[in-house]
Amino acid sequence: MILITGGAGQLATEFQRFFKKNSIDFLAPNKLELDITDFDKVRDYILKNDADLVINCAAYNLVDKAEEEKDSAYMINAYAVENLAKICRERKIEFVTYSTDFVFDGTKGSEYIEEDEINPISVYGRSKALGERLALEENRRTFIFRVSWVFGEEGKNFIEQVKTWANTRESIKIATDQISSPTSTKDIVEITWKILNLRDRDYGIYHLSGSGETSRYEQGKYILERVGYAGNILEGRCLDFTSYDIRPKYSKLSSRKIENILRIKIPNWRSRVDEYLKVGKTYLVTGGAGFIGANFVKYMLEKHEDIKLVVLDKLTYAGNLGTIREELKDSRVSFVKGDICNRELVENIFMQYDIDYVVNFAAESHVDRSIENPGIFLETNILGTQNLMEVAKTFWTVGKDSNGYPIYKEGKKFHHVSTDEVYGSLSKDWDIPKELILDEAVAKIATGRKNLQTYGEKMFTESTPLDPRSPYSASKTASDMIVMAYGETYKFPFNITRCSNNYGPYHFPEKLIPLIIKNILAGKKLPVYGKGDNVRDWLYVMDHCKGIDMVISNAKPHEIYNIGGFNEEQNINIVKLTIDTIARIMRQEPKYQAVLSTDLANINYDLITYVQDRLGHDARYAIDPTKVVTELGWYPETPFTEGIEATIRWYLDNQGWIEEVSFGNYEDYYKKIYNNK
């Protein structure tokens, strides 16, 4: 049993939230239930409840008032701490307590480390310093965490004070002559717990503060900008607000000791303030270094200013950090290498970031690979998806309703990116396509699309029965169904989008279009399955990203949307159009001939070679996106002829990226799949 003192404060409240999520037993009495200055009562309480760890969050932290109430400050911050440490020693249990950057005088001029000499200049600082010394003398199994400028979801803090000023004042003056780092209670709690759970842990003093430093003025200005304050923000000094010159001017704590021990980087204070204020949204983008995921990252950073993207990618053959190299330099992006099947890793992400949306791109996605090795598809696409949802459910749940269903935090959603292949195969009714006539309601919105065609009477709608035909599509179908099951069983907030074949920049060269482009430039044969008459619906990747964004932002939970391209075409015609487009560009713009490894004259249909058809090759896919068009106003804006030329030009201009991803295992795989067919 863990005892948390000061149970009503913002740090103790954060501990309670954390322990509840992790099913850890605790008691958190408030001051009325347990006054830590009543030494005998504290002893009886600890013995009665058989506490095996004490975390002291109680403190006297009214800096100015402490100058007038010295006895109270010393009693709570020093002598009560000594008593708690003594009882813990007698019980042979560990003791955790929190101190402050105010134990330093602020004259060093650089970050304070744990070994620096303390020299407090206020009663508050001196009382905390004495509490440190007495605790360490009384109990060698003591952890002391010095923290600075703490803020959390409960209690009073500087952020709440600034928000109050913003609502009541036409001008606000804030001190510029006090510098430290704001620290989130989330970071304090999570890091404390990690330290406590180290196998080889050292007792003593640790500095724990948010990364980055700021003045109170800059912090206040940052908060006011985020809440849309339109008044004047004035520079002041600490003595403008108090008659006591007792605050250290520079008291930034160095957290390098903790960061080195745990091999972590404590988040920047700005990101934690944004989470606190709920400014913008925080997205967990799984598979964000892959083709569609990386393009989504690029799209979102361009479209939205106030967002945070946490990219999780295992960096398998199709995931490449080079694809998002520039985006990783953006302060709005954090990258985590890892597997969505790793429960602990995903939990740590949710602990570190207040995730609003999970956008699940992570998947094994190539049909040929699924035929060769179906097991990995089941693990990633099914179990990985379930793991993500289970962690999200745990962290988003705040209680239960009267029927026992979970109640979730507002504004949370799990977006699952799926495929049209879950529907199986459509019949190909005509060898020569017919005009596709759009529904009147769709035509009014999709005004930019003309000369559309189709190869069959029917198209996939959201009500089409699921009928997968390959290990890949079966694994995606199963993942769709487990997502829907969570929605039904737990009322879990989700959306599913099912897309047609994507194409565009950064596509790994195992898929049809990038493979064709790469082979044409090298003068290699172009492997085409069967007769090349299989029909696919082609969707430009940035159109897809826009659709996902609109569904996340605007769709009701539990809705499923088909996102298609209005671009039905036979594979052989795709190959021929790509050959023709590259040949034309090479003739019209000779500078591009520098990337050729063959003569321009060789770029013709003779490169096409027909290979043995894929096992279970579906005849036709075609998506009807009527629902997403009419409900959300999205439509695929890019005609295929424009999109394919833009894609080809991107590949011509980015040969370095092609070389970076096309090596080793990819070349071996290519030979295995195509050379013997």
**C-alpha distance from residue 38 to each of 6, 11, 30, 88, 135 (Å):** 13, 21, 13, 16, 17
Which residue among 111, 339, 354, 421 is the active-site one? Answer: 421
Percentage of the chain exceeding pLDDT 90: 65
Amino acid identity of 413?
Answer: K
pLDDT, tens digit, for every residue of 508-558?
877 788 888 989 998 999 988 888 888 989 899 999 999 999 999 999 999
Of 109, 101, 278, 70, nearest to 207 by C-alpha is 101
Of 399, 409, 9, nearest to 189 by C-alpha is 9
Which residue among 206, 276, 353, 472 is the active-site one? Answer: 472
Q: What is the mean pLDDT of the chain?
A: 90
Cα atoms in the 13 Å half-sphere on the side-chain side of 645:
10
- Contact indicator for 56, 98 with CB cutoff of 8 Å: yes
- Averaged pLDDT, 6-28: 90
- Rounded to 10 deg, the angle between the 512-522 and 571-588 helix axes is 40
The reply to whether 420 belongs to the active site is yes
Of 205, 180, 175, nearest to 111 by C-alpha is 180
Q: What would the two tokens of residue 344 be?
A: 């602990």
Amino acid identity of 473?
Answer: S
H helix runs in 27-103, sequence order: 39-48, 63-66, 70-74, 80-91
SS3 labels along 105-166: CCCCCCCECCCCCCCCCCHHHHHHHHHHHHHHHHCCCEEEEEECCEECCCCCCHHHHHHHHH
Query: What pLDDT does residue 677 have?
Result: 45
How far is Cα 98 from Cα 56, in angstroms, rounded to an integer? 7
Distance linking the first and last C-alpha atoms of the chain: 65
Query: What pLDDT does residue 669 have?
Result: 40
Provide the pLDDT confidence category of residue 382 given band limits of 50, 70 and 90: very high
Q: What would the two tokens of residue 256 be?
A: 């390098």
Provide the pLDDT confidence category of residue 673 given band limits of 50, 70 and 90: very low
Q: Which DSSP helix (H) or strand (E) runs through 18?
A: helix 10-21
The reply to whether 421 belongs to the active site is yes
Domains belonging to the chain, first-starting first, are 2-153+180-209+249-263 (3.40.50.720), 425-454+461-465+503-543+560-677 (3.90.25.10)
Look up tokens 């009693």; give the residue: 75
Rg (CA), the chain: 30
pLDDT, tens digit, for every residue of 617-628?
788 889 999 999
Q: What would the two tokens of residue 453 be?
A: 């065609």
pLDDT, tens digit, for every residue of 201-245?
899 999 999 989 999 999 999 999 888 888 999 999 999 998 888
pTM: 0.62
